Amino acid sequence: MDIKKTELKRCTVVKTSGRIDGSNAHELAAALKTVTAKNMYNIVFDMSEVNFVASAGWWVLIDTQKTCKPSGELVLVKVDQGIRESLNLVGMGSYFCIYDDVTTAVGNF
Amino acid sequence: MSTKRFTCSLHNLEKISEYITECANHAGLNETEAYAVQLAVDEAATNIIEHGYGMECPSRIDITCVILENGLKVVIYDDAEPFDPSKVPEPALNVSLDEIKPRGLGIFIMRKMMDEVNYVSSPDKGNTLTMIKHHKP
């Protein structure tokens, strides 16, 4: 799993692509932990190239959100329609702010 | 009807998804419906590998797709320890972030994503999970 991290002044942008499932969710968890371990709790997760998220992936994002709040927040960007619908259907959509583009998400911090 | 056999490794989840996408396309499901089936089957396969086989993976998972007049039926066979999804309580969702716990979400997703979910286990035939997704009318 290729995960790119870009540290900006007020937040860190994390980006990956493809699937997040039971086989690789731990890699995303490890990458996000390296960000929060530096006390950086404002995270923008760019999902523009992510096309599938299983529950293992959502738990990683929820765990990260728990770590980030209340000092900061994990926000999501460009969530695929199918992913977004499944997230809302299981009632987990309310745990995340979702933005349409990275610039707006970064500007939020 | 078609059947594919997968060795039980989490690294096969992507191949399983590709097979399900192919079946969903043949069944004429739209993109949202196809994603729902992909997700439900992924959660089922993950549960079988992680909880049923305990990651030991001595066996296989067989997945059969049956094109229905009004949708797609997916049947998943395994011979892992019996694991009845209907016995798993629904996770507490719509609670505060601090209260949410990672238990039973996969099965809850299967129930939410599919129109029918049925599980049968027998000592000689193993476990059979049947899930159906209908077309939108």
What's the rounded Cα separation, in Å, for the pair B26 and B43? 22
Residue B27: is its pLDDT beyond 80?
yes
Q: Which of B13, B100, B108 sits opposite A21 (nearest CB)?
A: B13
Q: Using the beta-carbon criterion (under 8 Å), do A90 and B105 form an inter-chain contact?
A: yes
Which chain A residue has its CA at the smallest distance from B101's CA?
A: A59
Comparing C-alpha atoms, which of A21, A106, A6, A91 is closest to residue B15? Answer: A21
Q: Using the beta-carbon criterion (under 8 Å), do A89 and B39 form an inter-chain contact?
A: no
Provide the pLDDT confidence category of residue B93 given band limits of 50, 70 and 90: confident
Which chain B residue has its CA at the smallest distance from A23's CA?
A: B10
Residue B56: is its pLDDT beyond 80?
no
Q: Enumerate the residues of chain B whose CB falls inside 8 A of the CB of residue A81.
A: 31-32
Tokens of A100: 């349409």
ipTM of the complex as predicted:
0.90
What's the rounded Cα separation, in Å, for the pair B107 and A27? 23
Question: How much is the pTM?
Answer: 0.92
